[in-house]
Structure 1
Amino acid sequence: MKIAIIGTRGIPNHFGGFEQFTEYFSVYLAEKGHDIFVYNSHNHPYQEAEFHGVKIIHKYDPEHKMGTFGQFIYDYNCIIDSRRRNFDIILQLGYTSSSVWFFLLPKKPIIITNMDGLEWKRSKYSAPVRQFLKFAERLAVRSSDFLVSDSLGIKSFLSKKYQKDSTYIAYGAHPFDAADPSILSEYQLEAGKYNMLIARFEPENNLDMILEGVTMANSDIPMLVIGNHNTKYGSYLKEKFLTKSNIRFIGAVYNLNSLNNLRFYSNLYFHGHSVGGTNPSLLEAMASKALIAAHNNDFNRGVLKENAFYFSDAHKVKNILENIKKSDNLQFVENNFTTIKNDFNWEKINGQYLQLFEECISGIKTGK
């Protein structure tokens, strides 16, 4: 098959979840003998024309000059280019800035869209932007031949809202089993004697709720807060919790080995995400054998099931901090690690996408 992937900044990954998936999946397809193309921003750090057998198409992306609006121009450039490539399948990752150009998509290829999370629920967006995102979501549903949901919650939503079936294919993570305690000295930490969270500094990730619980708890062990805090919301949180000495704003950490080790040696890993599908950082925490305390919602429960502690307010966070130890709950840790190996491994997920592509091409799976 001749396949294109659009909707990401490109590969190798220098940005986020969709880029990481694209890197793994495109190389997998190339190794299977398929003709695979990935669209990259023109200013992506990787400027070669090929990456491990994957053909790279660089297109002009003015996001660095224009902000969010530049994404619309980049997606437009990618879609226009795709019209002359004679692809069999175009995999569209997300829809926020691409679905408005649906009428320009080439007619021959099968259009498969991963619907991402419920973007219009994110509290960082203004009311007009949320209305646009609902509109963009509706366009993506109607203009795609097939839909992919990366969580059962998204699959259920699409079925109820649009009466549209979607194929559930989760995100993935690599099991981590090469722990190295030397990383702890860089952060002045002791194994099992700190808690942590990793998140973008956005209200729907409930950092405020978690940190409020930290201030209420009768405990002074360190709480590591990892993520880019040089934002308006980050400034608000740093000011609010300035006097709480055990809350440590570390900033962004991009070294995956460091993150895996920090998760592995933590006592509790807090996951406050409340919007979206299967969150990559949650799977990475499971794969790193962290004991997880998660915000109580269908997305998180759909992945963790009974193998986590759940909170819905600061008082619940306080109770978890005061009463729960990783050493007493190692079965939860092992259950989640097994789930990663069995259900969220990249080889399985790549195979599920390829099977979907083959079924779509052959006509076994019927679309809209």
Structure 2
Amino acid sequence: MLRKLTLRRCVGIEPGAKCMTAKKTIAILGTRGIPACHGGFETFAERLALHLNEQGWIVTVYCQGTKEMSKPVHDTWRGIRRITFPVSREGAAATLEFDWTCVRDVVKNPPGVALTLGYNTAIFCIWMRLCGVKNIINMDGLEWRRDKWRTHERAWLWLNERIGCWVGNHLIADHPAIADHLSTRVSRNKITTITYGADHVEKANRDKLADFSLAADKYAIFIGRPEPENSVMEVVQAFSRKRRDAKLVVLGNYEPNRRPYHREVMDAASDEVVFPGAIYDTDMIRALRYHARFYLHGHRVGGTNPSLVEAMGAGSAIIAHDNPFNRWVAGSGSRYFSSTNQCEDHIEELLKDDSAVAKMRSDSRERFASTFQWSGVLDEYETLLARYCVKAEEPMALTPEERL
């Protein structure tokens, strides 16, 4: 049975039927689906799927449905095949259910190559490996180090990181420090570093700022999940220590009545701090980034963070938490803090120093253009995926190191 599954490589071809054209096919797993309306992985999945489709690939993206759905839905979005599976549970249990359903479907209808985004349920990828499906895993950040996880959740993530390293045919790290970490688990030959990408924003609609009573260059912005490891409290406290005659816009889904940390952050904020909630409108986000005086980035755990790269793509001056991840991404032209006092010092200076802000914006644009534009990132992904993609008529030979 496993031999039959390995040989049947044409999407949409019934067992026993002859495949007339050997096209490159890929299935993308590990996200909530496309079009993107949730986060970084969904945005990446959308961009990569559209890019590969333009290059002649047959692309399938798995999408997470809802409890109200009665059966799976197969449709097409901008040339991309979508398979939406309903879930009967909520929260983490729904993710487990959805990921396992996707893996079983991939094994039944194997593509030339699978791309799994994230390792949180890498234990399910064992089944793909046993069934001969070539699976490339983007190992994301050091998820198990996040403060929000309880002991058993941290153990689950740590174990799945190990499993992902072992069972993936190849691993993608989005940051050199992540590649260094993964190399303590597996051979360097099994790891490729490809960063996250973003759009170059050259202009944005200033009229969008009126929705939040903001004036261009008279506010700072913070974008990130309201979790302790993202330094939200430190940033809000630093900004709120005195009157600034400017505003701090903090984007994220805050639920003060349900989450004690969210309530503590909002209680620590002055009346110059604005909490507009989570915003997914692309034009609005671009306008808020582009017209901000500077961008505050507090993430402490992970590799190349999408929100930081997107801020650089908008030419933002960056004040970031001081750690190896942020320093490599944002470069020497940004400012860094490791305490609330340091963060406040940078805020105070940049609200007054126009020339410093202008220089930092220029440095961000230069660093972004050199490393993080979508065109280069997507080309690197396609090259790697094509190396592992098994066509119906042309199985690819891999080196002994790549088989590990």
Distance 1:290 1:315, change over 3 A: same
1:334 aligns with 2:362: yes
Task: Determine if contact 1:88/1:108 at 8 Å carries over to the other structure.
Answer: no
Q: 2:267 aligns with which of 222, 239, 248?
A: 239
Residue 343 (structure 1) aligns with: 371
Residue 105 (structure 2) aligns with: 81
- Partners of 2:349 and 2:116 in 1: CA distance: 45
Question: Deviations along 1:324-365, whole A, 9 cap, x unmatched?
Answer: 246313232123223333321112111101111223344466
Aligned pairs for 1:35-114 within 5 A:
35-43=58-66, 49-62=75-88, 65-97=89-121, 99-105=122-128, 107-114=131-138
- Partners of 1:266 and 1:140 in 2: CA distance: 39
Q: Shift of residue 282 of structure 1?
A: 0.6
Q: Shift of residue 2 of structure 1?
A: 1.7
Residue 321 (structure 1) aligns with: 347
- Partners of 1:219 and 1:68 in 2: CA distance: 41
Task: Determine if contact 1:217/1:318 at 8 Å carries over to the other structure.
Answer: no
Structure 1 window deviating more from structure 2 (329-338 vs 252-261): it is 329-338
* Aligned AA (1:237): V
Aligned pairs for 1:156-235 within 5 A:
156-164=180-188, 165-217=190-242, 219-230=244-255, 232=259, 233-235=261-263
Q: 1:280 aligns with which of 282, 306, 331?
A: 306
- Partners of 1:147 and 1:363 in 2: CA distance: 18
- Partners of 1:331 and 1:37 in 2: CA distance: 43
Residue 160 (structure 2) aligns with: 136
- Partners of 1:260 and 1:36 in 2: CA distance: 28
Question: Deviations along 1:69-107, whole A, 9 cap, x unmatched?
Answer: 11111111111111121322111111112x122332153
Corresponding residue pairs, total: 363
- Partners of 2:94 and 2:275 in 1: CA distance: 31
- Partners of 2:370 and 2:284 in 1: CA distance: 24
Extract unaligned runs of 5+ from structure 2.
1-23, 390-395
- Partners of 1:277 and 1:203 in 2: CA distance: 17
Task: Determine if contact 1:264/1:290 at 8 Å carries over to the other structure.
Answer: yes
- Partners of 1:320 and 1:309 in 2: CA distance: 7
Task: Determine if contact 2:138/2:171 at 8 Å carries over to the other structure.
Answer: yes
Aligned pairs for 1:290-309 within 5 A:
290-309=316-335
- Partners of 1:48 and 1:143 in 2: CA distance: 29
Q: Shift of residue 211 of structure 1?
A: 1.4
3-state SS in 1 of match to 2:158: helix
Task: Determine if contact 2:26/2:57 at 8 Å carries over to the other structure.
Answer: yes
Distance 1:259 1:86, change over 3 A: closer
Residue 252 (structure 1) aligns with: 278
Distance 1:47 1:82, change over 3 A: closer
Q: Shift of residue 267 of structure 1?
A: 1.6
Residue 31 (structure 1) aligns with: 54
- Partners of 1:314 and 1:204 in 2: CA distance: 14
Q: Shift of residue 162 of structure 1?
A: 4.1
Task: Determine if contact 1:217/1:321 at 8 Å carries over to the other structure.
Answer: no
3-state SS in 2 of match to 1:155: helix
3-state SS in 2 of match to 1:213: helix
3-state SS in 1 of match to 2:196: coil
1:16 aligns with 2:39: yes
Task: Determine if contact 1:218/1:322 at 8 Å carries over to the other structure.
Answer: no
Task: Determine if contact 1:87/1:108 at 8 Å carries over to the other structure.
Answer: no
Q: Shift of residue 4 of structure 1?
A: 0.8
3-state SS in 1 of match to 2:348: helix
- Identity over aligned residues, as a percent? 30
1:145 aligns with 2:169: yes
* Aligned AA (2:354): S
- Partners of 1:41 and 1:245 in 2: CA distance: 39
- Partners of 1:265 and 1:86 in 2: CA distance: 46
3-state SS in 1 of match to 2:28: strand
* Aligned AA (1:32): Q
- Partners of 1:47 and 1:248 in 2: CA distance: 40
Structure-1-length-normalised TM-score? 0.93
Task: Determine if contact 1:116/1:277 at 8 Å carries over to the other structure.
Answer: yes
- Partners of 2:60 and 2:219 in 1: CA distance: 44
Residue 14 (structure 2) aligns with: none
- Partners of 1:42 and 1:227 in 2: CA distance: 23
Q: Shift of residue 141 of structure 1?
A: 0.5
Structure-2-length-normalised TM-score? 0.85
- Partners of 2:371 and 2:398 in 1: CA distance: 24
Q: 1:4 aligns with which of 21, 27, 30?
A: 27
* Aligned AA (2:97): I
3-state SS in 2 of match to 1:277: coil
- Partners of 2:133 and 2:74 in 1: CA distance: 26
- Partners of 1:238 and 1:218 in 2: CA distance: 17
